A and B are shown apart, each in its own frame.
Chain A
């Protein structure tokens, strides 16, 4: 059993130590808001916060989570930054298929927590997740909106 803390709650997980956090979240804990897109750190659909840092959970093995506080999209509205982001995402009508958007919002949450008023260049640096529906411009607009 490996104990991890997700969204403020401890879970004891019975899985191989090399299991990526992504699959622990999705299949073991049923937290399916975090998405699988590539499994090799290319797409960012699996982005969660690890002690506030945007992290691709397909690359984080269960054994390396340790005592870190993990935050997933399921808890996005539990703080002010998250609530603002969700409102901005709806206001700007960002999502199309929506599949990448959990990861996008988690990346944006990390950015805004560290940098409440990011410039376009800051957004370009921080927001590297793929979106096949091409919502990049609206994502940037929504981040500015949430930061305003």
Chain B
């Protein structure tokens, strides 16, 4: 087992079991255990005093009940969640975990994303919504919080009723004294209860007695989201507010020089002002549509980009040239994983299989375009409403932008109209610094909204990626040794580099390393080659391409050795009970493994299988495809999903369906192409995402192995991409080594 990225000793102090996080990069991520370090990495210019304050904080995250729970006198329950809801169902899960132990039905909670503060740093001293961390990292914490609060309500009610607490029980938010038939709703003693000193080590419920956890409870937000009542960042408005629309520099890194028609634009209806911003221009107006029309009319001269090269987004930058650079790199690699002696096996091998795999840049394409609303208040504070996955970090950067100290920034984190990794801080990919600068300049509250076109221009992208594989076949046709060399850059290295320090970027190699297959001799190398474009975390991160690469190549190896790919997986997993069970489960779910091709309604079809181990969960996936007009059609996806243990099986199912849909979307359609230094798609007409007409049936079976809880939001995706590609190989005999499949023309 690769121990290059060894968990640091400080991890033992984390409020979660270290083995609960089995993901390579994530282990390191948590290992360093200090949000301040992350801030340091991202904000080299942040004054040391602010960092010192952050580290000196003595609050133990997840323990101060009043920071999380607001109980009204009317017995209403509000939960301030460390996490932001963006479709993944985390708010409902938090209510289940707290409600279970507090003894309050989860449907009674109103859940909001908590403001910035040290109480909410429940992921190893860090706070973020991402990495499929939320539920698994907070499971113990939130249950304990609920149990501790319940004990306080019992004590407060005991004082009120003048009986020993041992004579009291609770039922759905009410303390009951059975002997006297008296009832005290939590709300009636909330003030007294929450002022008590919390008891240590309040026992948690025996999971056998769970009523809410492990149940497919309905989402708390389903009705508001079905009636238009849910409020997103884009929906918010302030008195006296100006609307702002922007036009970004055509080439990332260039700046506005001059405007040819400023007077004419200023004279357009409703226009308040024309503004320069870093890398952009803006118009403020009394409505967004007017602002947008005006800013698009503005005739801007920009500085010139570099003429050529890959260090910046140069005038001739292209994704094709970048891919060629990844392929041609001769740079010395560092080892991401090594076992046995692959070189010796290759030297003696008689049969070697080789392949190069590539995957394109991808946009998040969440349906809500980014926006930000900023207001400087008379008391000297700045109030900011903007989508974000990391409130404390956004607060710090907002403070720096505004020239204030962080505690003077009041940050609101509204629900997200989809995110998939979109709302981490990626520099110029976030609109909130623009809102702050414009509010400062105009002296008015300002709401910046990016048009879809500006969003496609500025979104941070899943990096374009490349891996070269070699496998040596043994006499039995099975892989005896495997080598991979992956070249590129991952978001963890770029944005959290100082936290990790190591030479291997986990987010670039995850999905290639720590595979469960019994291949004794292997060597996986990484070469860091920086992208000039803004790169991002994107649903399932490195797994989103690497599991496709690895599992696609696996089927090439199986075919070369004359083995059925499903059987070869069984053979190489024979000591892995968890994986075997999943493979068997997905085969059964699909009616028994059959690769095909076989005849079906509308023509020949075939199936492909793939495994993946993302974010502490395990998946086995089968896809069935056919060809129509030379293009791939996906009919069915079967997924056996093992997240170890579960909180809400209904939400897990939804998340796996959603991840599968995104997987199909990227397998078939998605790529963000650069040519001449600019992105070639500016809206959904140029960047195709999966629509209903290509949506397959999706069948999910949840397997609870009882292993430590893994992630849920992302892990369903990577196996789908590989299973689809492997099904195409079964149908056509062609192993497609680059995505999307729509680039390849197939003969029907």
Binding site for B on A (CB under 8 A): 15-16, 19-20, 23, 26-28, 30, 32-40, 42-43, 45, 72-74, 76-77, 85-86, 89-90, 93-102, 105, 124, 127-128, 130-140
**Is there an interface contact between B228 and A74, defined as CB atoms closer than 8 Å?**
yes
* Interface, chain B (partner A; CB < 8 A): 86-89, 218-219, 221-232, 234-235, 237, 243, 269, 287-290, 365-369, 415-420, 449, 451-452, 650, 654-655, 657-658, 660-662, 665, 683-685, 689-693, 695, 697-698
Beta-carbon contact of A97 and B416 below 8 Å: yes
A32 partner, pick from B224, B231, B367, beta carbons under 8 A: B231
The residue from B369, B654, B660 contacting A93, defined by CB atoms under 8 A apart: B654
Could you tell me the distance in whole angstroms from the C-beta of A30 to the nearest C-beta in chain B? 7
> Would you give the shortest CB distance from A147 to chain B, in whole angstroms?
16
- Indicate if the CB atoms of A76 and B227 lie closer than 8 Å: yes
Q: Tell me the bound Cα distance from A105 to B230 in angstroms.
A: 14
Closest to B365 in A: A132
Which residues on the B side are within 8 Å of A98 (C-beta)?
A: 87, 221, 224-226, 230, 415, 417
Most A C-beta atoms less than 10 A away, residue of B224, B417, B697: B417
> Which B residues lie within 8 Å of A95 (CB)?
87, 219, 221-222, 225-226
Q: Which residues of A contact B698 (CB under 8 A)?
A: 137
Taking CB as reference atom, which chain A residue is nearest B371?
A36
- List of 10 A-B pairs having minimum Cβ-Cβ separation, nearest first: A33-B228, A134-B661, A98-B225, A97-B87, A99-B417, A73-B228, A96-B87, A95-B225, A89-B226, A32-B235
Given known pairs A36-B234, A93-B218, A96-B88, the reply for A73 and B367 (CB within 8 Å) is no
Write out the residue numbers on chain A whose beta carbons fall within 8 Å of the beta carbon of B288: 23, 27
Q: Is B226 a contact of A42 with CB atoms below 8 Å? A: no
A42 to B243, Cβ gap below 8 A?
A: no
**A residues within 8 A CB of B228?**
32-34, 72-74, 76, 102
A126's nearest neighbour on chain B, judged by CB, is: B692
Task: Select B222's contact among A94, A105, A132, beta carbons within 8 Å.
Answer: A94
Which residues of B have CB within 8 Å of A138? 654, 657
Contact of B234 among A35, A40, A127 (CB under 8 A): A35
Whole-angstrom CA separation of A72 from B415 in the bound complex: 21
**Which listed residue (A38, A96, A134) contacts B89, Cβ 8 A?**
A96
**A-B CB contact pairs (8 Å), 10 listed:** A37-B452, A40-B684, A90-B226, A128-B692, A130-B367, A132-B367, A132-B418, A135-B657, A137-B695, A138-B654
Measured CB to CB, the nearest residue on chain A to B665 is: A134
Measured CB to CB, the closest approach of chain B to A148, in angstroms, equals 17
Q: How far is the CA of A135 from the CA of B219 in the complex (A)?
A: 14
Q: How far is the CA of A15 from the CA of B293 in the complex (A)?
A: 13
A134, B662: Cβ atoms closer than 8 Å: yes
The distance in angstroms between the C-alpha atoms of A133 and B225, with both chains bound, is 13
A15 to B227, CA, bound (A): 27
A97 and B418 contact, Cβ closer than 8 Å, known pairs A37-B452, A38-B683, A134-B662: yes
Whether the Cβ atoms of B225 and A134 lie closer than 8 Å is: no
Q: Report the nearest A residue to B692, measured CB to CB.
A: A136
Given contacts A27-B287, A96-B88, contact A35 B222 (CB under 8 A): no
- Taking a contact as CB atoms under 8 Å apart, the answer to whether A130 and B226 are in contact is no
| B657 in contact with A99 (CB, 8 Å) | no
Q: Known A33-B227, A95-B226, A97-B366; judge A133-B87 contact (CB<8 A).
A: yes
CB contact between B695 and one of A15, A32, A73, A136 (< 8 Å): that residue? A136
Q: Are B684 and A42 in contact (CB under 8 A)?
A: yes
The distance in angstroms between the C-alpha atoms of A32 and B683, with both chains bound, is: 22
The interface residues of chain B, by DSSP majority, are classed as loop
Contacts A37-B452, A133-B87; is A16 near B689 (CB within 8 Å)? no
Known: A86-B223, A96-B87, A97-B418. 11 other contacts (CB 8 A): A23-B288, A37-B369, A38-B452, A90-B218, A95-B222, A97-B415, A97-B419, A98-B221, A99-B366, A134-B695, A136-B661
User: A37: nearest residue on chain B (CB-CB)?
Assistant: B367
What A residues does B88 contact at CB under 8 A? 96
Interface contact A124-B684, CB-CB below 8 Å: no
What's the least CB distance linking B634 to chain A, in Å?
12
The CA-CA distance from A23 to B449 in the complex, in Å, is 13
- For the complex, what is the distance from the CA of A124 to the CA of B691, rounded to whole Å? 10
B480 to chain A, nearest CB (A): 40
**In the bound complex, do residue A132 and residue B226 qualify as a contact, i.e. CB atoms below 8 Å apart?**
no
Bound Cα distance from A10 to B657, whole angstroms: 42
CA distance A100 to B226 in the complex (A): 10
Residues in chain B near residue A15, CB distance under 8 A:
287, 289
Measured between beta carbons, the chain A residues less than 8 angstroms from B237 are 30
Asked if B287 and A28 sit within 8 Å, CB to CB, the answer is yes
Interchain CB contact under 8 A, A77 and B227: yes
CB atoms of B417 and A43 under 8 A apart: no
Q: Could you say which of B87, B658, B683 contacts A42, with CB atoms under 8 Å apart? A: B683
* Contact between A132 and B691, CB atoms less than 8 A apart: no
User: B561 → chain A, closest Cβ, in Å?
Assistant: 36
Residues of B within 8 A of A96 (CB): 87-89, 418, 654-655, 658
Is the CB–CB distance between A127 and B692 below 8 Å?
A: yes
Cβ contact of B683, chosen from A19, A40, A132, cutoff 8 A? A40
> Looking at the complex, which one of A23, A40, A43 makes contact with B287 (CB distance below 8 Å)?
A23
Quick check: A20 and B289 within 8 Å, CB to CB? yes
Provide the bound-state CA to CA distance between A101 and B224, in Å: 10
Of listed A28, A77, A97, A105, residue having the most chain B CB within 10 A: A97
Q: How many Å lie between the Cα of A91 and that of B738 in the bound state?
A: 40
Q: How far is it, in angstroms, between the C-alpha of A93 and the C-alpha of B220 when the chains are bound?
A: 10
**Which of A34, A43, A86 touches B367 (beta carbons < 8 Å)?**
A43
Checking B226, B449, B657 against A137 with a beta-carbon cut-off of 8 angstroms, the contacting residue is B657
- Report the Cα distance A105→B224, complex, angstroms: 13
Cβ contacts under 8 Å, A127 to chain B:
692
Specify which of A32, A42, A76, A85 is in contact with B685 (CB 8 Å cutoff). Answer: A42
Q: Chain B nearest CB: distance from A145 CB in Å?
A: 13
Closest to A45 in B: B367
Residues of A within 8 A of B685 (CB): 40, 42
Question: Which residues from chain B contact A30 at a C-beta distance below 8 Å?
Answer: 237
A45 CB contacts on chain B under 8 angstroms: 367
**Nearest chain-B residue to A23 (Cβ)?**
B289
Contact A134-B367, Cβ < 8 Å, known A23-B288, A32-B235, A99-B418? no
* Closest-CB distance, B265 to chain A (whole angstroms): 15
Query: What's the least CB distance linking B398 to chain A, in Å?
Result: 24
A99-B221 contact, Cβ under 8 Å, with A42-B684, A86-B226, A136-B695? no
- A134 touching B693, Cβ below 8 Å: no
Question: A97 — nearest CB in chain B belongs to which residue?
Answer: B87
For residue B687, give the distance in angstroms from its CB to the closest CB of chain A.
Answer: 10
Distance between Cα atoms of A89 and B222 in the complex (Å)? 8
Min CB distance B301 to A, Å, is 26
Nearest residue (CB) in A for B87 is A97
Contacts known (A38-B452, A97-B367); A134 close to B658, Cβ less than 8 A: yes
Pairwise interchain contact B417-A35, C-beta atoms closer than 8 A: yes
Q: Looking across the interface, which residue of chain A has its beta carbon closest to that of B684?
A: A42
Residues of A contacting B87 in the complex (Cβ-Cβ under 8 angstroms):
95-98, 133
Shortest CB-to-CB span from A88 to chain B, Å, is 9
Q: What separation, in Å, do the CA atoms of A37 and B228 have in the docked complex?
A: 15
For the complex, give the distance between the alpha carbons of A15 and B290 in Å: 9
Q: Which of B219, B223, B684 is within 8 Å of A130, CB to CB?
A: B684
Closest to A77 in B: B227
- Max chain B C-beta neighbours (<10 A), residue from A19, A26, A37: A37
CB neighbours of A139 from chain B (8 A):
692
Contacts of A35 in B (CB 8 A): 232, 234, 367-368, 417
Q: Are A99 and B232 in contact (CB under 8 A)?
A: yes
- In the complex, A27→B237 CA distance in Å? 9
Shortest CB distance B217–A (Å): 10
Instruction: List A contacts of B86 (CB < 8 A).
Output: 97
Shortest CB-to-CB span from A24 to chain B, Å, is: 9
Q: How far is the CB of A47 from chain B (nearest CB, A)?
A: 11
